[in-house]
Amino acid sequence: MRPAAARAAESLGAIVRAEARAARAAAARIPQPMAADEAYMALALDEARQAAEAGEVPIGAVVVHAPIDRATRRPLAEPAVIARAHNLRETTQSPSAHAEFLALEEAARALGAWRLPDCTVYVTLEPCIMCAGLMHQARVRRCVFGAPDPKAGACGTLYAIHGDERLNHRFEVVPGVGREESQRLLREFFAARRKGAPAAVKGAAGGSTRAPGARGEAEGEGVDRP
């Protein structure tokens, strides 16, 4: 008969191997970061098209909540979109009605909390100072954006609010996801505006969306927010 110590060691080894297999299986079910980022950015781009339909500069945003265990860094639940919004500055005549600002406010209402440490913000244009500051205040985990904004970008282009070590919170920034489509929507929107054409921003299916009345001007790879 085998010693009890040997049997216990073998049993422990089997448990460890089973846990490792379970961890690998769980990891396989989690989308790869870039693929997931592209999928969520596609939703933000849908919001940008809705903005164009409303005569707003085509910028959209979504907020994804992915809670994790702080000790183990393991996910506690599947990631979920808890907020989505697009520019409504002209519609509401509110200076704060940028897509990501509205989405963050909706996310806070959804979670019943102003701190959003388990959230990632996806936005089609690099956040401005106001919106990057709000992300800092909300303690977000990440911001993923599409097109850089050379005239107002505050997440790496003109300023780097997300990484400023003088502040009491920093967050990860991933630029360039969905960049080409984000820029295309902006270019076509402002080209239509310059020509006075009411329908010029093409949707994903080849249709067109209305683009009257927005303020701002596309230039290079960025845009002046209205």
Instruction: Give the pair of three-digit tokens for residue 4.
Output: 């009890």
Which residues, including other chains, have CB under 8 Å from residue 225's CB and lie 6 or more apart? 57, 59, 89, 98, 125, 128, 149, 152, 216
- DSSP-assigned letter for residue 155: B
Burial class for 133, CB neighbours closer than 10 Å (0-12, 13-18, 19+)? middle
Pairing of strands 142-147, 119-125: parallel
- The full length of the chain comes to 226
Which residues, including other chains, have CB under 8 Å from residue 161's CB and lie 6 or more apart? 129, 132, 133, 135, 136, 154, 155, 167
Question: Catalytic site residue 38?
Answer: no
Of the residues 90, 100, 181, 188, only one is catalytic, namely 100
63 φ/ψ angles, rounded to the nearest 5 degrees? -120, 130
Pairing of strands 60-65, 119-125: antiparallel
User: Is residue 210 classed as helix, strand or coil in its secondary structure?
Assistant: strand
Q: Would you say 161 and 194 are in contact if contact means Cβ atoms under 8 Å apart? A: no
**Catalytic (active-site) positions:** 100
